[in-house]
Amino acid sequence: MPGHSPSSLRDRFGARVRCLRTARGLSQEAFAELACLHRTYLGAIERGERNVSLDNIGKIATALDVTLSELFTQVSAIDE
């Protein structure tokens, strides 16, 4: 993807979401149902392909049963 570095904020956020999801033993399908979002959309988030809206970040945090600050723990705002 042009202009998309391998360590972009989207990549790091997606990796954090995947880590939290798998730590809870959730499949993408179960996670999508909890978040009221489509499975393929969540997969694209986990791969760093989507720029997620604040509303959907809230849904993801709720589905993972974490606060927004916990969701962003280990996700740096500055590209390295």
pTM: 0.85
* CB of 49 closer than 8 Å to CB of 1: yes
The 10s digit of each residue's pLDDT in 18-33 is 999 999 999 999 999 9
Which of 77, 67, 76, 75 has its CA nearest to residue 18? 75
Q: Token pair 């705002």 is at which residue? A: 77
Assign 48 a pLDDT band (cuts: 50, 70, 90).
very high
pLDDT for 80: 47
Q: Token pair 């589905």 is at which residue? A: 63
CA distance 69 to 41: 22
The rounded percent of the chain whose pLDDT value lies above 70 is 86
> In this structure, what DSSP letter does residue 79 have?
-
pLDDT for 51: 95
Amino acid at 78: I
